[in-house]
Every structure is written in structure tokens, then in C-alpha cells.
Amino acid sequence: MTAETSPFAPRRAAFSVLVVLAITHLLNDTLQSLIPAIYPIIKDAYHLDFGQIGMITLTFQVTASLFQPVVGHYTDKHPMPYSMVFGMMFTLAGLIGLAYAGNYPMLLVSAACVGVGSSIFHPEATRMARHASAGQLGLGQGIFQVGGQAGGAIGPLLAAFIIVPRGQGSLSGFAGLALLAIILMIWVNRRYAALGLGQTTARRAADGAIPSPAGSTGKVIFAMSILIILLFSKNAYAQSFSSFYTFYLIQKFGVTVQNSQLMLFLFLGSAAVGTLGGGILGDKIGRNKIILFSIVGALPFALALPYADLFWTGALTIIINLIMSSAFAAIMIYAMELVPGRVGMIGGLFYGLTFGLGGLAAALLGQIADHTSIETVYRMCSFLPAIGLLAIFLPKVKSS
């Protein structure tokens, strides 16, 4: 148990809170994942090029990234657990907008609404998951993030079996998932309050008693800079799959849209296993080791991927995502230990960076694909995991 969590952590992890938070994360990220899942449909319907597809991702992810650190910084001082409900209302509005958008600008506005909803949800939910973990930080973040990874994986399945056969308008039918998420968010907030998980945090925020950073300002800036670079390499590579994997499979192997969505599901679904495993192992063997392995360990498989046949393309993408997805929980907790007492701000910053860096990468990769080819994009991206070698220079922080 770290020095930051010990004053307010209960004796046992509040697993009911963690599980329901994971379910709300699943629902939130399922709805988000419907955006890239409908790309093959809207590309033809609106006559879009890859650059415009990348701009939709950029719009969604920039709105998600810009607000998250601001929301997290504010709620560190003024906890607002019910803000998650407000955020889900934005997501619901964006979902309906995507279903009935009549033109490309409306698609962008609707994607931005979903991004704003995400920016409100993640910082507060991250703090609640940390407090409910009772010091088992990797396990707590792992459970919470498994929900998000599973939600991201479900999107392609929904696209394959519902949206592709029924069309873009069928997105409105998923409004029920947003309403279910709102109900669960209300329950988890009441349970969180009943267990007294947020009382000490609120008191500490009111008193201004925020712990000092774990090290000198220079050390903190150096470590955070490395983490941001690692996130970029990880998210740029992952974004090549989230936004363009279906097109890659269709163009290179001639698979159907439905089969490409199923293969995207396998890629994204493997992230749930890797995320939980990385969180648990991080508690046992240290964050630094997990961060290094999770990025560099994927390098040989990434280098082989552009030259593989269809079967090995599927197998390699699962292996790559199993390894790379183990990093995020470790990176998040390492940053929280680096800057203790700023759970909301760090959660917002790193979820925000995940969306923002991923969005920039998607826009850039879309432009490269338009001027070269999708296969060129994957050959270029195969070298990105090598940047993970920078993790060697991360300083030791507490339990890392």
C-alpha cells in the first residue's frame, strides 16, 4: 500500500464498487467504439477518403483529451462523483447525432459530443476505482480498465451483426446502453458514499492537503516526458488498428466487412486479458518492468505482421495487443505514484493523452494512407514499439 492510499483505503477492496465501475466503463467505451466500427459504412455513404476518416477520430479524441485533465484537476479539489452521469448524457446525445447525421460536419459534431462525455467520465471513475482498491492498485486499475477494453472490443461485434446489416440509423438503438450506464452510475455513487470511500479524500481536498511529488521537479518532468513518449508510440500503433485495420484486411486479403469486424474484435478483445494481467503483475514485480516489456516485447511480432498471411495476421495481432495492453495500468499507477494526491488530474491527463495522441496519429496515418497505401502504414508503424526502450530510463518510484 502506498503512502497516498493508506490514509483512506478500506481494509478490503470494495469489489462491488470496482465491478460496477468496470461495467460502466464497458458501457461507456462500447458506445465510443461504435465510432470507428461504423467507418466502413460511412466511408461509402458519405464518399469519404481516409483523411476524412482520420479527422473524425481526431475530433472525437481531441475533445476527449482536452477536457480530461481540466476535469480531473478540478475534481481533485472538488470531488463530483455524479459528474459521470452528466458525461453519459453527452455521449447519448452524440450517439443519436451519429445515427441521424445528414452530412459530414454533423458527424464531426456528434463525435465531439461523445468525446466530451468521455472526458467527464474517466477522471472521476479512475479516482473511485483507486479508492475502492484498498491499496491493491494494479488489481483495481486492471479491473476498471478491463471494462473499458472489453467495451472497445464489443463495438466491432455490434457493427458486424447489427449496424452493417441494418445501417447507420441502427445506432440509435444503443441509447438503451447509455440509460443503463446512467442507472449503474447512480447506484455506484450511492454505494461509494455508503462505504465512506470518498470522505477522507473530500476532507483532504477541502484542507488543501495534497502530498508533495515523489522527487524533484526535474525528476518528475523527466519521468513524465518518457511516459508521454511511450504513450504516443503505444497509441499510434494501436490506432493503426482501431481506425484502419478493417480496411487493411479488406484491401490486402479481400475479406468481407463482417469478417474484418470479427478480426478487429479479436484484436481489441485480447486487450482485456492483457490489461488485467499487466495490472496484477505490476503489483508483484514492479511497474518499470511491466512498462518496458509491454512495449518492447511486442516489437518482433509487429515487425513480422506486414509480411504475414491472413491466418498469421490474426494470430500476430492478438499476441501484439496482449503484450502492449499490459502497459496502461502500470503507466497510470506509476504516474500517480510520481505525483501523489492528484489522482483525478493524472487520470484525466493520461486518458486525455491516450485519446489526443491517438487522434493525432489517426489523422496523420489517414493522410499517409491516402498518399501511399494502407500496407505502407503498417510497415511504418511496425517500428513504433522500439521506442519502448526509453522505459529503461524511468526512475524508481515507491513500488515501481
Q: How confident is the model at residue 105 (pLDDT cuts 50, 70, 90)?
A: very high
Q: Are 312 and 290 in contact (CB under 8 A)?
A: no
Question: Whole-angstrom Cα distance, residue 32 to residue 115?
Answer: 8
Instruction: Report the alpha-carbon distance of residue 290 to residue 391 in Å, rounded.
Output: 10
Q: What is the pLDDT of residue 215?
A: 57
What would the grid cell of residue 97 be? 447525432
pLDDT at residue 202 greater than cutoff 60: no
What pLDDT, on the 0 to 100 scale, is given for residue 211?
53
Cell 494501436, located at residue = 238
Helix axes 257-285, 15-37, angle to 10 degrees: 150
Q: Give pLDDT tens digits for 301-315.
A: 999 999 999 999 999
Which residue bears the cell 477522507? 200
> What is the residue type of 171?
L
Angle, nearest 10°, between helix axes 327-338 and 137-158?
140
Distance of alpha carbon 242 from alpha carbon 235, whole angstroms: 10
For the segment 205-229, what is each residue's pLDDT rounded down to a tens digit? Answer: 444 444 555 557 788 889 988 988 8
Checking if the pLDDT of 246 tops 50, the result is: yes
| More confidently predicted of 269 and 105 | 105
- Residue pair 355/235 in contact by the 8 Å Cβ criterion: no
Highest mean pLDDT among 93-97, 127-131, 288-292: 93-97
Quick check: 13 pLDDT over 80?
A: no
Burial per residue of 239-278, b for 16 or more beta-carbon CB atoms within 10 angstroms, e otherwise: bbbbbbbbbbbbebeebebbbbbbbbbebbbbbbbbbbbb
Q: What pLDDT band is residue 153 in, cutting at 50, 70 and 90?
A: confident
pTM over 0.75: no
- Please, are residues 133 and 22 in contact by the beta-carbon 8 Å criterion? no
- Report the length, in residues, of the chain: 400
pLDDT digits (tens, 9 = 90+) for 335-362: 888 888 777 677 667 766 766 677 678 7
Whether 198 contacts 118, CB under 8 Å: no
* pLDDT of 397 over the 50 cut: yes
Lowest-pLDDT choice from 5-19, 167-181, 291-305:
5-19
Give me the residue spans of the domains in the chain: 15-393
Distances (CA, A) of 204 to 8, 79, 321, 330, 369: 10, 11, 39, 25, 50
C-alpha to C-alpha distance for 89 and 31, rounded to whole angstroms = 12
Give CA–CA dist 239/185, Å, rounded: 29
Pairwise pLDDT comparison (181 vs 234), residue with the higher score: 181
What's the confidence (pLDDT) of residue 74?
A: 79
Q: Round to whole Å and give the CA distance between 3 and 398.
A: 9
What's the topology of domain 15-393?
Growth Hormone; Chain: A; (1.20.1250)
What's the per-residue H, E or C state across the chain?
CCCCCCCCCCCCCCHHHHHHHHHHHHHHHHHHHHHHHCHHHHHHHCCCCHHHHHHHHHHHHHHHHHHHHHHHHHHHHCCCCCHHHHHHHHHHHHHHHHHHCCCHHHHHHHHHHHHHHHHHHHHHHHHHHHHHCCCCHHHHHHHHHHHHHHHHHHHHHHHHHHHHHHCHHHHHHHHHHHHHHHHHHHHHHHHHHHCCCCHHHHHHHHHCCCCCCCCCHHHHHHHHHHHHHHHHHHHHHHHHHHHHHHHHHHHHHCCCHHHHHHHHHHHHHHHHHHHHHHHHHHHHHCHHHHHHHHHHCCHHHHHHHHHCCHHHHHHHHHHHHHHHCCHHHHHHHHHHHHCCCCHHHHHHHHHHHHHHHHHHHHHHHHHHHHHCCHHHHHHHHCCHHHHHHHHHHCCCCCCC
What average pLDDT does range 171-194 have in this prediction?
A: 90
Please tell me which residue, 100 or 77, carries the higher pLDDT value: 100
Looking at the predicted structure, is the pLDDT value of residue 59 above 70? yes
Residue with C-alpha cell 476532507? 203
Yes or no: say if 349 and 69 are a contact pair by the CB < 8 Å rule: yes
